Amino acid sequence: MIYNWKYIDNQFLLSTYGSIKRAVILSTFHDNALRTLSTTYPLLLPLYTRYHPLHLALVAAYNQHTSSGSLQQGDRLSVTQEFAISKKLLTNVWMPVILGLHPKDSPRYKAIFPGGLSPFNTGTIDTKIAAFGVLGTNIGSEVALASIKTAADSNYASLLLLRETQSSAITTTSDDSDTLETARIAAMVMQYRNLGNMMDNFYDTIETMCPLVFDLVTLRENPQTIFTSAILSLAQENLLAHTFLAADQIAVKIVGSGTFNLYLSSGVAGVDSTPILITANIKQTITISAFGVTNYALHRFLNVVSLSGDTATYRVQLL
Protein backbone atom coordinates (compact mmCIF):
# COMPACT_ATOMS: atom_id res chain seq x y z
CA MET A 1 0.00 0.00 0.00
CA ILE A 2 1.28 3.47 -0.92
CA TYR A 3 0.65 6.26 1.59
CA ASN A 4 0.72 9.99 0.96
CA TRP A 5 3.86 11.70 2.14
CA LYS A 6 2.66 13.77 5.11
CA TYR A 7 4.46 16.89 3.94
CA ILE A 8 2.30 17.13 0.83
CA ASP A 9 -0.98 16.92 2.76
CA ASN A 10 -2.65 20.32 2.65
CA GLN A 11 -3.50 20.96 6.32
CA PHE A 12 -5.56 24.04 5.44
CA LEU A 13 -7.88 21.92 3.31
CA LEU A 14 -8.02 19.03 5.74
CA SER A 15 -8.74 21.14 8.83
CA THR A 16 -11.57 23.05 7.16
CA TYR A 17 -13.32 20.12 5.54
CA GLY A 18 -16.90 20.35 6.82
CA SER A 19 -16.12 23.55 8.74
CA ILE A 20 -16.66 26.63 6.60
CA LYS A 21 -16.54 28.88 9.64
CA ARG A 22 -12.99 27.72 10.40
CA ALA A 23 -12.03 28.42 6.79
CA VAL A 24 -13.37 31.98 7.03
CA ILE A 25 -11.46 32.54 10.30
CA LEU A 26 -8.21 31.21 8.80
CA SER A 27 -8.73 33.31 5.69
CA THR A 28 -9.52 36.50 7.62
CA PHE A 29 -6.34 36.16 9.67
CA HIS A 30 -4.15 35.29 6.67
CA ASP A 31 -5.49 38.06 4.42
CA ASN A 32 -5.06 40.74 7.08
CA ALA A 33 -1.59 39.50 8.04
CA LEU A 34 -0.36 39.58 4.45
CA ARG A 35 -1.76 43.08 3.93
CA THR A 36 -0.29 44.44 7.17
CA LEU A 37 3.13 42.78 6.95
CA SER A 38 3.71 43.42 3.24
CA THR A 39 4.96 46.93 4.03
CA THR A 40 7.69 45.47 6.24
CA TYR A 41 8.30 42.38 4.11
CA PRO A 42 7.80 43.32 0.42
CA LEU A 43 8.13 39.65 -0.58
CA LEU A 44 4.66 39.15 0.95
CA LEU A 45 2.99 41.68 -1.35
CA PRO A 46 2.65 39.30 -4.34
CA LEU A 47 1.15 36.72 -1.97
CA TYR A 48 -1.41 39.25 -0.76
CA THR A 49 -2.21 40.38 -4.30
CA ARG A 50 -3.09 36.88 -5.42
CA TYR A 51 -4.78 35.84 -2.17
CA HIS A 52 -7.02 38.84 -1.47
CA PRO A 53 -9.54 38.19 -4.31
CA LEU A 54 -9.92 34.59 -3.08
CA HIS A 55 -10.54 35.82 0.47
CA LEU A 56 -13.22 38.25 -0.73
CA ALA A 57 -14.85 35.47 -2.74
CA LEU A 58 -14.89 33.18 0.30
CA VAL A 59 -16.41 35.83 2.56
CA ALA A 60 -19.00 36.77 -0.08
CA ALA A 61 -19.94 33.10 -0.58
CA TYR A 62 -20.17 32.59 3.18
CA ASN A 63 -22.45 35.61 3.61
CA GLN A 64 -24.57 34.60 0.63
CA HIS A 65 -24.93 31.06 1.92
CA THR A 66 -25.94 32.42 5.32
CA SER A 67 -28.43 34.94 3.93
CA SER A 68 -30.23 32.21 2.01
CA GLY A 69 -30.88 30.33 5.24
CA SER A 70 -28.34 27.54 4.75
CA LEU A 71 -26.52 28.34 8.00
CA GLN A 72 -27.93 29.39 11.34
CA GLN A 73 -29.38 32.87 11.26
CA GLY A 74 -27.05 33.99 14.04
CA ASP A 75 -23.94 33.35 11.94
CA ARG A 76 -24.10 36.75 10.26
CA LEU A 77 -24.80 40.35 11.00
CA SER A 78 -27.76 41.97 9.33
CA VAL A 79 -27.18 45.09 7.27
CA THR A 80 -29.01 47.07 9.95
CA GLN A 81 -26.72 45.83 12.70
CA GLU A 82 -23.58 46.46 10.66
CA PHE A 83 -24.80 49.96 9.76
CA ALA A 84 -25.51 50.70 13.44
CA ILE A 85 -21.92 49.78 14.31
CA SER A 86 -20.57 52.01 11.54
CA LYS A 87 -22.83 54.87 12.62
CA LYS A 88 -21.57 54.51 16.20
CA LEU A 89 -17.98 54.79 14.97
CA LEU A 90 -18.92 57.92 13.03
CA THR A 91 -20.56 59.73 15.93
CA ASN A 92 -18.40 58.52 18.85
CA VAL A 93 -14.94 58.14 17.31
CA TRP A 94 -14.57 59.98 13.98
CA MET A 95 -16.64 63.11 14.64
CA PRO A 96 -14.64 64.31 17.70
CA VAL A 97 -11.45 64.11 15.62
CA ILE A 98 -12.99 65.94 12.66
CA LEU A 99 -14.53 68.64 14.86
CA GLY A 100 -11.19 69.09 16.63
CA LEU A 101 -9.68 70.07 13.29
CA HIS A 102 -12.66 71.67 11.55
CA PRO A 103 -15.43 73.37 13.60
CA LYS A 104 -18.98 73.00 12.34
CA ASP A 105 -19.09 76.53 10.94
CA SER A 106 -15.84 76.12 8.96
CA PRO A 107 -15.83 75.74 5.15
CA ARG A 108 -13.83 72.51 5.41
CA TYR A 109 -16.39 70.88 7.73
CA LYS A 110 -19.18 71.86 5.34
CA ALA A 111 -17.18 70.39 2.46
CA ILE A 112 -16.83 67.09 4.32
CA PHE A 113 -20.48 67.07 5.48
CA PRO A 114 -22.39 69.23 2.96
CA GLY A 115 -25.68 67.85 4.23
CA GLY A 116 -24.65 67.52 7.85
CA LEU A 117 -25.39 64.09 9.27
CA SER A 118 -28.83 63.83 7.64
CA PRO A 119 -27.59 61.48 4.84
CA PHE A 120 -26.65 58.98 7.57
CA ASN A 121 -30.03 59.32 9.31
CA THR A 122 -32.67 59.61 6.59
CA GLY A 123 -33.61 57.80 3.41
CA THR A 124 -33.31 54.15 2.46
CA ILE A 125 -30.62 51.85 3.80
CA ASP A 126 -28.87 52.09 0.43
CA THR A 127 -28.65 55.89 0.59
CA LYS A 128 -27.39 55.69 4.17
CA ILE A 129 -24.70 53.23 3.13
CA ALA A 130 -23.76 55.50 0.23
CA ALA A 131 -23.15 58.32 2.73
CA PHE A 132 -20.07 56.47 4.03
CA GLY A 133 -18.69 56.32 0.50
CA VAL A 134 -19.31 60.05 0.05
CA LEU A 135 -17.59 60.74 3.39
CA GLY A 136 -14.41 59.01 2.24
CA THR A 137 -14.48 60.91 -1.05
CA ASN A 138 -15.03 64.27 0.66
CA ILE A 139 -12.15 63.73 3.09
CA GLY A 140 -9.92 63.15 0.08
CA SER A 141 -6.19 63.39 0.62
CA GLU A 142 -6.20 65.33 3.91
CA VAL A 143 -3.33 63.76 5.84
CA ALA A 144 -4.72 64.50 9.30
CA LEU A 145 -7.89 62.54 8.48
CA ALA A 146 -6.22 59.73 6.53
CA SER A 147 -7.01 57.07 9.15
CA ILE A 148 -10.67 58.12 9.25
CA LYS A 149 -10.90 58.00 5.47
CA THR A 150 -9.45 54.48 5.50
CA ALA A 151 -11.94 53.38 8.15
CA ALA A 152 -14.88 55.01 6.33
CA ASP A 153 -13.89 53.37 3.04
CA SER A 154 -13.49 50.00 4.78
CA ASN A 155 -16.91 50.26 6.43
CA TYR A 156 -18.48 51.33 3.14
CA ALA A 157 -17.00 48.30 1.35
CA SER A 158 -18.11 45.99 4.16
CA LEU A 159 -21.66 47.38 4.09
CA LEU A 160 -21.85 47.09 0.30
CA LEU A 161 -20.69 43.48 0.44
CA LEU A 162 -23.19 42.60 3.16
CA ARG A 163 -26.00 44.42 1.32
CA GLU A 164 -25.17 42.67 -1.94
CA THR A 165 -25.18 39.20 -0.39
CA GLN A 166 -28.42 39.94 1.47
CA SER A 167 -30.12 41.18 -1.68
CA SER A 168 -29.10 38.12 -3.67
CA ALA A 169 -30.58 35.59 -1.24
CA ILE A 170 -32.81 34.18 -3.98
CA THR A 171 -29.95 31.85 -4.93
CA THR A 172 -30.82 28.27 -4.05
CA THR A 173 -29.25 26.54 -1.08
CA SER A 174 -27.68 23.91 -3.32
CA ASP A 175 -26.02 26.49 -5.53
CA ASP A 176 -24.83 28.38 -2.46
CA SER A 177 -23.24 25.25 -1.05
CA ASP A 178 -21.40 24.48 -4.29
CA THR A 179 -20.14 28.04 -4.60
CA LEU A 180 -19.03 28.12 -0.98
CA GLU A 181 -17.15 24.84 -1.23
CA THR A 182 -15.41 26.01 -4.39
CA ALA A 183 -14.39 29.24 -2.63
CA ARG A 184 -13.17 27.33 0.42
CA ILE A 185 -10.99 25.03 -1.65
CA ALA A 186 -9.54 27.90 -3.69
CA ALA A 187 -8.62 29.93 -0.60
CA MET A 188 -7.17 27.00 1.36
CA VAL A 189 -5.14 25.78 -1.62
CA MET A 190 -3.70 29.27 -2.04
CA GLN A 191 -2.77 29.43 1.65
CA TYR A 192 -0.89 26.16 1.17
CA ARG A 193 0.87 27.58 -1.88
CA ASN A 194 1.71 30.73 0.08
CA LEU A 195 3.25 28.54 2.78
CA GLY A 196 5.50 26.97 0.17
CA ASN A 197 6.50 30.38 -1.11
CA MET A 198 7.37 31.52 2.42
CA MET A 199 9.47 28.41 3.03
CA ASP A 200 11.54 29.41 0.03
CA ASN A 201 11.82 33.14 0.74
CA PHE A 202 11.93 33.10 4.56
CA TYR A 203 13.77 29.84 5.14
CA ASP A 204 15.98 31.21 7.94
CA THR A 205 13.08 32.78 9.87
CA ILE A 206 10.20 30.48 8.94
CA GLU A 207 9.45 29.50 12.55
CA THR A 208 8.98 33.17 13.42
CA MET A 209 7.12 34.17 10.27
CA CYS A 210 4.55 31.36 10.13
CA PRO A 211 2.66 32.31 13.33
CA LEU A 212 2.51 35.90 12.04
CA VAL A 213 1.00 34.97 8.69
CA PHE A 214 -1.09 31.87 9.48
CA ASP A 215 -3.59 31.37 12.31
CA LEU A 216 -1.91 28.28 13.73
CA VAL A 217 -4.11 28.23 16.82
CA THR A 218 -7.28 27.85 14.77
CA LEU A 219 -5.54 25.45 12.40
CA ARG A 220 -4.78 22.98 15.19
CA GLU A 221 -7.24 20.26 16.13
CA ASN A 222 -9.54 20.63 19.17
CA PRO A 223 -8.94 24.30 19.98
CA GLN A 224 -9.41 25.41 23.57
CA THR A 225 -12.92 26.69 24.25
CA ILE A 226 -12.97 27.29 28.03
CA PHE A 227 -10.63 29.74 29.78
CA THR A 228 -10.43 30.24 33.56
CA SER A 229 -8.17 32.23 35.86
CA ALA A 230 -8.19 35.05 38.43
CA ILE A 231 -7.96 38.83 38.20
CA LEU A 232 -6.68 41.06 40.98
CA SER A 233 -8.48 44.12 42.32
CA LEU A 234 -8.43 47.08 39.87
CA ALA A 235 -6.14 45.13 37.54
CA GLN A 236 -6.21 44.39 33.81
CA GLU A 237 -5.94 40.87 32.42
CA ASN A 238 -5.76 39.30 28.96
CA LEU A 239 -8.25 36.44 29.01
CA LEU A 240 -7.53 34.87 25.62
CA ALA A 241 -6.51 35.45 22.01
CA HIS A 242 -8.82 34.20 19.26
CA THR A 243 -9.92 35.17 15.75
CA PHE A 244 -13.66 35.79 16.07
CA LEU A 245 -16.38 36.37 13.52
CA ALA A 246 -18.94 39.11 14.13
CA ALA A 247 -21.78 36.73 15.03
CA ASP A 248 -19.71 34.54 17.37
CA GLN A 249 -20.80 34.41 20.99
CA ILE A 250 -19.02 33.94 24.30
CA ALA A 251 -20.39 33.11 27.75
CA VAL A 252 -18.73 35.05 30.58
CA LYS A 253 -19.10 34.71 34.34
CA ILE A 254 -16.93 36.49 36.90
CA VAL A 255 -17.22 35.33 40.48
CA GLY A 256 -16.50 38.04 43.03
CA SER A 257 -17.98 41.46 43.69
CA GLY A 258 -18.51 44.65 41.74
CA THR A 259 -18.26 45.18 38.00
CA PHE A 260 -15.75 44.67 35.19
CA ASN A 261 -15.26 45.99 31.66
CA LEU A 262 -14.62 43.55 28.84
CA TYR A 263 -12.80 44.63 25.65
CA LEU A 264 -11.95 43.00 22.32
CA SER A 265 -8.65 44.71 21.62
CA SER A 266 -5.83 44.86 19.13
CA GLY A 267 -3.24 44.08 21.81
CA VAL A 268 -2.88 42.11 25.03
CA ALA A 269 -3.09 45.32 27.05
CA GLY A 270 -5.54 47.18 24.82
CA VAL A 271 -8.92 48.74 25.50
CA ASP A 272 -9.63 49.91 21.93
CA SER A 273 -13.20 48.67 21.53
CA THR A 274 -16.63 49.35 22.93
CA PRO A 275 -16.54 48.11 26.56
CA ILE A 276 -19.04 45.49 27.71
CA LEU A 277 -19.98 45.83 31.36
CA ILE A 278 -19.87 42.56 33.30
CA THR A 279 -21.59 42.29 36.67
CA ALA A 280 -20.11 39.81 39.12
CA ASN A 281 -21.86 36.46 39.67
CA ILE A 282 -24.13 36.82 36.63
CA LYS A 283 -23.49 34.67 33.56
CA GLN A 284 -23.69 36.82 30.44
CA THR A 285 -23.81 35.77 26.79
CA ILE A 286 -22.14 38.31 24.52
CA THR A 287 -22.24 38.54 20.73
CA ILE A 288 -18.85 39.64 19.43
CA SER A 289 -20.35 42.36 17.22
CA ALA A 290 -21.28 44.21 20.43
CA PHE A 291 -17.65 45.26 20.83
CA GLY A 292 -18.08 47.54 17.81
CA VAL A 293 -14.89 46.56 15.97
CA THR A 294 -14.66 45.92 12.23
CA ASN A 295 -11.28 44.24 11.83
CA TYR A 296 -11.61 40.86 13.52
CA ALA A 297 -8.17 39.79 12.33
CA LEU A 298 -6.62 42.67 14.28
CA HIS A 299 -8.91 42.74 17.30
CA ARG A 300 -8.21 39.24 18.67
CA PHE A 301 -7.46 39.87 22.35
CA LEU A 302 -10.23 39.56 24.92
CA ASN A 303 -9.20 41.75 27.85
CA VAL A 304 -10.89 42.49 31.16
CA VAL A 305 -10.44 45.55 33.38
CA SER A 306 -11.48 45.15 37.01
CA LEU A 307 -13.53 47.94 38.56
CA SER A 308 -13.84 45.91 41.75
CA GLY A 309 -12.05 46.29 45.05
CA ASP A 310 -11.68 42.52 45.42
CA THR A 311 -9.88 39.71 43.64
CA ALA A 312 -12.22 37.71 41.38
CA THR A 313 -12.17 34.58 39.23
CA TYR A 314 -13.51 34.30 35.71
CA ARG A 315 -14.73 31.67 33.27
CA VAL A 316 -15.00 32.40 29.55
CA GLN A 317 -16.46 29.87 27.10
CA LEU A 318 -16.40 30.14 23.32
CA LEU A 319 -19.88 29.12 22.14
pLDDT in tens, 131-143: 888 888 899 888 9
User: Is there a single domain that holds both residue 293 and residue 229?
Assistant: yes
- Give domain status of residue 262, yes or no: yes
HEC assignment per residue over the chain: CCCCCHHHCCHHHHHHCCCHHHHHHHHHHHHHHHHHHCCCCHHHHHHHHHHHHHHHHHHHHHHHHHHCCCCCHHHCCCHHHHHHHHHHHHHHHHHHHHHHHCCCCCHHHHHHCCCCCHHHHCCCHHHHHHHHHHHHHHHCCCHHHHHHHHHHHHHHHHHHHHHHHHHCCCCCHHHHHHHHHHHHHHHHHHHHHHHHHHHHHCHHHHHHHHHHHCCHHHHCCCCCCEEEEEECCCCEEEEEECCCCCCCEEEEEEECCCEEEEEEECCCCCCCCCCEEEECCCCEEEEHHHHCCCCCCCCCEEEEEECCCCCEEEEEEEC
- pLDDT of 102 reads 92
pLDDT in tens, 145-196: 998 888 888 888 888 877 776 655 444 455 567 788 889 899 989 999 999 9
For residue 143, give its domain range. 79-167
- Which of 102, 134, 167 is where one domain is finished? 167
User: Is there a single domain that holds both residue 141 and residue 283?
Assistant: no
User: Is there a single domain that holds both residue 113 and residue 258?
Assistant: no
pLDDT in tens, 27-85: 888 888 898 888 899 999 999 999 999 998 888 888 777 655 544 343 345 677 788 88
User: Is there a single domain that holds both residue 65 and residue 192?
Assistant: yes
Whole-angstrom Cα distance, residue 119 to residue 131?
Answer: 6
User: Is there a single domain that holds both residue 236 and residue 211?
Assistant: no
- Give domain status of residue 21, yes or no: yes
User: Is there a single domain that holds both residue 273 and residue 125?
Assistant: no
- Give domain status of residue 198, yes or no: yes
Percent of the chain with pLDDT strictly greater than 90: 11
User: Is there a single domain that holds both residue 140 and residue 177?
Assistant: no
User: Is there a single domain that holds both residue 212 and residue 257?
Assistant: no
Closest CA to 51 of 190, 173, 182, 149: 190
Q: What is the CATH number of the domain that holds 235?
A: 2.60.120
- Which of 167, 191, 210 is where one domain is finished? 167
Number of domains in the chain: 3
- Give ∠ CA 276-278-282 in degrees, rounded to 5: 140
- pLDDT of 75 reads 33
Whole-angstrom Cα distance, residue 282 to residue 36?
Answer: 39
Residue 130 scores a pLDDT above 90: no
- Give domain status of residue 228, yes or no: yes
Q: What is the pTM of this model?
A: 0.46
- Give domain status of residue 38, yes or no: yes
pLDDT in tens, 269-279: 888 888 888 88
CB-CB contact of 30 with 214 (8 Å):
yes
User: Is there a single domain that holds both residue 161 and residue 277?
Assistant: no
User: Is there a single domain that holds both residue 125 and residue 186?
Assistant: no
- Give domain status of residue 182, yes or no: yes
- Give domain status of residue 249, yes or no: yes
- pLDDT of 257 reads 85
User: Is there a single domain that holds both residue 308 and residue 290?
Assistant: yes
- Give domain status of residue 192, yes or no: yes
User: Is there a single domain that holds both residue 47 and residue 190?
Assistant: yes
